[in-house]
Amino acid sequence: MWWKIDPIPHQELEDWERALVRCENRAKRDLEARAAGVFVIYELDGVLGYVAGREAPDGAYLVERWVRKKKGWTLYE
């Protein structure tokens, strides 16, 4: 059987990365995340979100984990 694989529009990647950066920036300013010194970006049902702490909520998957260092935030995953 022959299959035809469609290309992925660049826009899809760019939209997702922009949403990710917006989420990172919001989390870095979040007081709870700053106090915890760590936050995670997660994706749940196709929507990105963040939460202070090391773990993503149940049912969500972890996209990135950021840890606060002296001079700012460092990406660990």
Partner 1 sequence: MRDDDLRAAMSFFAERLRGADLSEARLLRWTRHKLRSDARAVAELMLTVGYRPTFIRYFLRYHIPEINKNAAVGEMYIDPGAAPEARLGLCWRLDEHVLTVYTDLHAAAKRLKQPYRDLAAVCLRWGYVHETVVRLLAKTLERKPRNVVED
Asked whether position 46 contacts partner 1 by CB under 8 A, the answer is yes
Q: Does 43 bind partner 1 (CB under 8 A)?
A: yes
CA dist 74 and 15 (Å) reads: 23
10/29 with CB nearer partner 1 = 10
- And the tokens for 29? 């300013």
State the burial class of residue 66 (Cβ atoms within 10 Å of its Cβ: 0-12, 13-18, 19+).
buried
Amino acid, single-letter form, for residue 48: L
User: Could you tell me the smallest distance in angstroms from the CB atom of residue 25 to partner 1?
Assistant: 16
Instruction: Enumerate binding residues for partner 1 (CB under 8 A).
Output: 1-8, 10, 13, 16-17, 20, 43, 46, 61, 63-64
